[in-house]
């Protein structure tokens, strides 16, 4: 039986000696009150990383000296009254397909181990300008072409809830690091579910914003047409803080009362594979709907179109990596190489036609929300398999995620229960273009009305 804990007024704000349990605002408030410093926070993160990442394998590269130097500077600035905002002095980490000056950008592939970017990606520049401290670069599914996280030149990241299980991918290390308390937030990418799938499987929060809302400048593309950049965190509040900075919002937008919203419940997966909700997923989903209805939202039945499974991703991925493939194909894992080579068969005219057809679909996307404001659907339809099983067909991974990439719609996953084996479930809240604030309002209500404050025991 699936389970979801309900509390009328769950209080996530608590006193603790373990700084890695705090949210970003709690940490920032502690900095301002001088109860602890960014140096303390960085030390706490590295203590957990040094103790447990030999098991979890979330990081590809760490810069302990550089992070501690940045923490010392942040501590001095905050003490001098020069605090830049809530993220100043907060330790975070970056997926290894995103440029960070001073770090190699490998994308977990032997084909790119020698690439050292000269400048930060735009999203990293914004985070650094806000005072965030970069601990290191995170493990991922090789070149982001996979939803399991099981293929990486440094070995797979492992799920903190059960290290024999996959994290999901491709932002595998990002979700694992946040869940394990190695950092307060992580930056990932999402082409078909690559933020939301691992966030769901690791019991954390992940936001894929509206297409183009966060700059992809300095990010290795998998598919420029479908790629999105977003945060992975441990709470709605932390997601909101990260999103505002990553998107360049000059001031946070006000939330919207949930009792004014109609939420559309999707009754089946959005996929070609005829998958259905399992009994445990259905049970947890029904409980989640009752929670939101109890918070004042109106729940109605809803539907979204089945994704058009064009060949844009494989075609664009092959075109980006063709030079590296031609130079040394054996540097790619055979499974990744096979996926990339599928794009070699797609002629330019077919790719151009698919892009034009997709542009038309995206123009019509907002009209899908005529009868409801947001949609709700479970994020992943089954418990994470073991890493050894991850080579088997896993067609339920992106059954509920890809449509949001295809139409460029924002979608957030948050924890809403556990499978009978104790692994986390995720609930997706999606909406029309530009509805991130509305999505976060609903997520905040759900989080406040439930007792999800679980953390894996390492």
Measure Cα distances from 212 to 224, 230, 243 in Å.
10, 11, 13
Residue 267 a catalytic site member = no
Cβ count near 44 (within 10 Å): 21
C-alpha–C-alpha distance, residues 261 and 243, integer Å: 22
Q: In 90-172, which ranges are E strands?
A: 91-95, 133-138
**DSSP-assigned letter for residue 83:** -
The encoded tokens of residue 455 equal 């953390």
Tell me how many degrees the CA angle 84-88-90 measures, rounded to the nearest 5. Answer: 170
| C-beta of residue 216 within 8 angstroms of C-beta of residue 156 | no
C-alpha–C-alpha distance, residues 45 and 71, integer Å: 12
Residue 95 a catalytic site member = yes
Backbone angles phi, psi at 400, to 5 degrees: -110, 5
Among residues 109, 194, 240, 441, the one annotated as catalytic is 194
C-alpha–C-alpha distance, residues 123 and 405, integer Å: 19
Residue 170 a catalytic site member = yes
Residue 94 three-state SS: strand
One-character DSSP codes across 321-374: HHHHHHH-GGGS-HHHHHHHHGGGGS-HHHHHHHHHHHHHHHHTGGGGGSS-SE
**DSSP-assigned letter for residue 242:** H
C-alpha–C-alpha distance, residues 372 and 289, integer Å: 15
Measure Cα distances from 318 to 224, 324, 325, 342 in Å.
12, 10, 9, 8
Among residues 95, 200, 223, 339, the one annotated as catalytic is 95
C-alpha–C-alpha distance, residues 330 and 69, integer Å: 39
| C-beta of residue 87 within 8 angstroms of C-beta of residue 123 | no
Among residues 75, 109, 152, 170, the one annotated as catalytic is 170
For 11, counting Cβ atoms within 10 Å of its Cβ (0-12 exposed, 13-18 middle, 19+ buried), the class is exposed
Q: So which residues are the catalytic ones?
A: 95, 170, 194
């Amino acid at each position: 039986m699936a389970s979801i804990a309900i509390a009328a007024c769950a209080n996530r704000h608590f006193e603790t000696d373990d700084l890695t349990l705090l949210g970003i605002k709690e940490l920032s408030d502690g900095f301002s009150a001088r109860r602890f410093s960014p140096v303390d926070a960085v030390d706490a993160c590295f203590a957990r990383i040094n103790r447990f990442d030999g098991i979890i394998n979330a990081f590809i590269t760490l810069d302990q000296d550089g992070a501690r130097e940045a923490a010392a500077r942040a501590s001095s600035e905050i003490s001098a009254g020069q605090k830049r905002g809530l993220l100043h002095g907060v330790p975070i980490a970056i997926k290894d397909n995103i440029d960070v000056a001073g770090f190699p950008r490998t994308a977990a592939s032997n084909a790119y181990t020698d690439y050292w970017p000269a400048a930060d990606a735009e999203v990293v520049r914004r985070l650094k300008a806000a005072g965030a401290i970069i601990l290191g670069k995170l493990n991922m599914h090789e070149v982001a072409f996979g939803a399991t996280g099981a293929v990486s030149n440094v070995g797979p990241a492992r799920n903190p809830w059960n290290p024999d299980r996959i994290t999901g991918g491709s932002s595998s290390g990002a979700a694992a690091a946040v869940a394990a308390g190695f950092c307060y937030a992580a930056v990932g990418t999402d082409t078909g579910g690559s933020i939301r799938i691992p966030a769901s499987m690791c019991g954390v929060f992940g936001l894929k914003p509206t297409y183009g809302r966060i700059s992809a400048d300095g990010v290795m593309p998998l598919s420029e047409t479908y790629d999105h950049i977003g945060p992975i965190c441990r709470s709605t509040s932390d997601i909101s803080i990260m999103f505002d900075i990553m998107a360049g919002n000059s001031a946070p937008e006000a939330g919207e009362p949930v009792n004014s919203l109609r939420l559309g419940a999707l009754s089946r997966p959005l996929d070609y594979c005829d998958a259905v909700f399992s009994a445990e997923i259905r049970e947890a989903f029904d409980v989640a709907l009752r929670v939101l209805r109890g918070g004042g939202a109106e729940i109605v039945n809803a539907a979204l179109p089945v994704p058009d499974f064009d060949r844009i991703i494989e075609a664009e991925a092959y075109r980006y990596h063709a030079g590296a493939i031609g130079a040394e194909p054996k540097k790619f894992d055979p499974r990744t190489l096979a996926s990339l080579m599928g794009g070699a068969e797609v002629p330019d005219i077919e790719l151009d036609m698919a892009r034009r057809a997709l542009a038309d679909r995206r123009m019509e996307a907002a009209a899908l929300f005529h009868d409801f404001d947001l949609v709700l659907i479970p994020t992943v339809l089954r418990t994470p398999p073991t890493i050894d099983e991850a080579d088997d067909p896993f067609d339920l991974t992106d059954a509920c995620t890809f449509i949001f990439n295809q139409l460029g719609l924002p979608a957030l996953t948050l924890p809403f229960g556990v499978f009978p084996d104790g692994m986390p479930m995720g609930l997706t809240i999606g909406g029309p273009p530009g509805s991130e604030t509305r999505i976060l309002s609903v997520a905040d209500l759900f989080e406040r009305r439930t007792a999800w404050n679980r953390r894996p025991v390492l």
